[in-house]
């Protein structure tokens, strides 16, 4: 999230197209990482629940 609010950017947003495209790429990468973490947690939770039963 800091990347989006920081004035320092890989490509400044005033460069139309490319400036916003790098932000979209970073957002997509963050969402993939979050999804991966949530999937890992769900797998752990299911295996942990099975062990308790």
7-20: per-residue pLDDT in tens?
777 777 777 788 88
Q: How far apart are CA 22 and CA 29, in angstroms?
A: 11
Q: Which domain does 22 fall in, by range? A: 10-52
Reduced to 3 states (helix: H, G, I; strand: E, B; else coil), residue 14 is coil
Residue with the larger pLDDT of the pair 24 and 37: 37
Is residue 29 assigned to a domain? yes
Tokens of 24: 């979209």
Q: How far apart are CA 53 and CA 2, in angstroms?
A: 42
- Whether the full predicted model's pTM is greater than 0.75, yes or no, is no
Are the C-beta atoms of residues 26 and 3 closer than 8 Å to each other? yes
Mean pLDDT score of the chain: 84
Is residue 3 assigned to a domain? no
As a whole-number percent, the residues of the chain with pLDDT over 70 amount to 91
| Structural domains of the chain, count | 1
pLDDT band with cut points at 50, 70 and 90 for residue 53: low
Is residue 46 assigned to a domain? yes
Longest dimension (CA), the chain: 57
Is residue 5 assigned to a domain? no
């Amino acid at each position: 999230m800091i990347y989006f609010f920081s004035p320092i950017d890989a490509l400044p947003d005033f460069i139309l197209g490319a400036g916003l495209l790098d932000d979209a790429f970073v957002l997509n990468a963050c969402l993939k990482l979050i999804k991966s973490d949530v999937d890992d947690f769900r797998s752990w939770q299911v295996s942990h629940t099975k062990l308790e039963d």
